[in-house]
Amino acid sequence: MDNNTILCKGNDVIALAAIRCGCDGYFGYPITPQSEIMEKLMEEKPWETTGMVVLQAESEVASINMLYGGAACGKKVMTSSSSPGVSLMCEGFSYLAGAELPCLIVNVVRGGPGLGTIQPAQSDYFQAVKGGGHGDYHFIVLAPASVQEMNDFVDMGFDLAFKYRNPVMILADGIVGQMMEKVTLSPPKPRWTDEEIIALSGSWATTGKPSGRRENIITSLAMDAAVAEKFNEKLQRKFNEIRRREVRLEKIKCDDAEYLLIAYGAMSRICEETVDNARAQGIRLGLLRPITLFPFPSEQIAAMTPQLKGILSVELSAGQMVEDVRLAVGDKTPVTHFGRLGGIVPAPDEVLAALKRTYLQNENE
């Protein structure tokens, strides 16, 4: 095993991955269960090695606006927070989307509403995939289910952010953030030089106006309704392109499945065991794990309906992703939700019991 394969906590690996992928700046504010990200960055002192800036802001409102300033310069910048802090950032999300600024936001979700609980939850699905802030916009939302994916999605998140000039959110949860697993770190990449930033983003980023080019202006303001509509249509074209090109998912034992669990993040790990337990009892159960929550794998789910007798959307919420599953499936297959709330995480057999209760009652009788 090489030196780059380590045992690491999900939150810590976000920090290591940020440094290794050439991130220019992290701006954040402490909140459980993700404070280890900034703590790890401060401990690593990347300003002495890669030159990465790490700054503890006075609030999540400030950190998201620091992200705005840094992203507007064409720099690779990121922040992290958890649910209540992310709510505070939503104004900034809307401005970032409106100004088409590439950046990375890590949300290690805890239970809500309000101050809620520090235990893991997936109750911020709507906020993450439907917008959160005002206006018609989407983030690209990645849902890691392992510490390895916490590592991999940092670099991938920045790639997608710059490819589409759009914010990307890693929607993790308290389990993925806090658990320790084996992870192979990505090989280190240097930060972009000023010349590379100008080559990549010089047509729009505020890098200082040299003589001979027009001033670059970052704004989300369009007072003329006709101009604002055209801009919004352009944004929608971008989101449609993302829907066409960037869907990512994992299918586990789906080929012969009659019943399907749909779950993401930590919940999908639990559902993997549910699938094994079900199959041991002769139930042909499969698992579809959306990796991108926006864009949602609607077509891939719809394509499975001919073989399915029922779908159970399993979430640590009162039923949020299930709405997107229903939109994908229509009335072709029954869709039901199962979830636990307030930071309670169901065991694999609890999920299986819910599946049986919903779809196999008659067969058992």
Partner 1 sequence: MDVNDIIQPENKVYGKTPVLTDTEMHYCPGCSHGVVHKIIAEVIEDMGIQDKTIGISPVGCAVFAYNYLHIDWQQAAHGRAPAAATAVKRLYPDKYVFTYQGDGDLASIGTAEIMHACNRGENIVVIFINNAIYGMTGGQMAPTTLIGQVTATTPYGRVVELNGYPLRITELLAQLSGVCYVTRQAVHTPAAVRKAKKSIQKAFENSGQRKGLSFVEIVGTCNSGWKLSPVEANQWMVENMFPHYPLGDIKNEELGIKDWLKQ
Among 14, 41, 72, 168, the residue binding partner 1 under the rule CB under 8 A is 72
Determine contact, residues 306/255, Cβ cutoff 8 Å. no
Per CB under 8 A, does 87 bind partner 1?
no
Q: Which of the residues 247 through 276 are near partner 1 (CB under 8 A)?
A: none
Q: Which of the residues 92 through 121 are near partner 1 (CB under 8 A)?
A: 92, 95, 99
Helix (H) or strand (E) holding 136: none
* CA-closest candidate to residue 63, choices 82, 81, 76, 51: 81
Interface stretch with partner 1, choices 209-217, 250-258, 334-342, 344-352 (CB under 8 A): 209-217
DSSP state of 357: I
Per CB under 8 A, does 196 bind partner 1?
no
Find out whether the peptide bond into 295 is cis, omega within 30 degrees of 0. yes
For partner 1, the closer of residues 220 and 277 by Cβ is 220
Q: Which of the residues 12 through 31 are near partner 1 (CB under 8 A)?
A: 24-25, 27
Residues facing 152 on adjacent strands: none
Per-residue contact flags (x/-) with partner 1 for residues 129 to 168, judged by CB under 8 A: ----------------------------------------
Tell me how far apart the alpha carbons of residues 361 and 356 are, in angstroms, rounded to a whole number.
6
Among 6, 30, 42, 55, the residue binding partner 1 under the rule CB under 8 A is 55
Tell me how far apart the alpha carbons of residues 38 and 30 are, in angstroms, rounded to a whole number.
8
Per CB under 8 A, does 202 bind partner 1?
no
For partner 1, the closer of residues 68 and 294 by Cβ is 68
User: Residue 280 has which token pair?
Assistant: 């041991």
Q: Minimum CB separation from partner 1 for residue 83, in Å?
A: 21
For partner 1, the closer of residues 209 and 244 by Cβ is 209
DSSP string, 21-48: TT--EEEE---TTSTHHHHHHHHH-GGG
The rounded radius of gyration (Å) of the Cα atoms in the chain is 21
Per CB under 8 A, does 224 bind partner 1?
no
CA of residue 39 relative to chain centroid, distance: 21
**Size of the residue set binding partner 1 (CB under 8 A):** 38
Tell me how far apart the alpha carbons of residues 193 and 206 are, in angstroms, rounded to a whole number.
15
Strand pairing of 259-262 and 285-290?
parallel
Determine contact, residues 49/28, Cβ cutoff 8 Å. no
Determine contact, residues 83/147, Cβ cutoff 8 Å. no
Among 57, 249, 252, 345, the residue binding partner 1 under the rule CB under 8 A is 57
User: Would you say how long the chain is, in residues?
Assistant: 365
Interface stretch with partner 1, choices 141-149, 180-188, 212-220, 225-233 (CB under 8 A): 212-220
Among 6, 30, 39, 53, the residue binding partner 1 under the rule CB under 8 A is 53
Per CB under 8 A, does 67 bind partner 1?
yes
For partner 1, the closer of residues 61 and 302 by Cβ is 61
Applying CB under 8 A, the residues found at the interface with partner 1 are 24-25, 27, 53, 55, 57-59, 61-63, 65-70, 72-73, 75, 77, 91-92, 95, 99, 206-211, 215-221
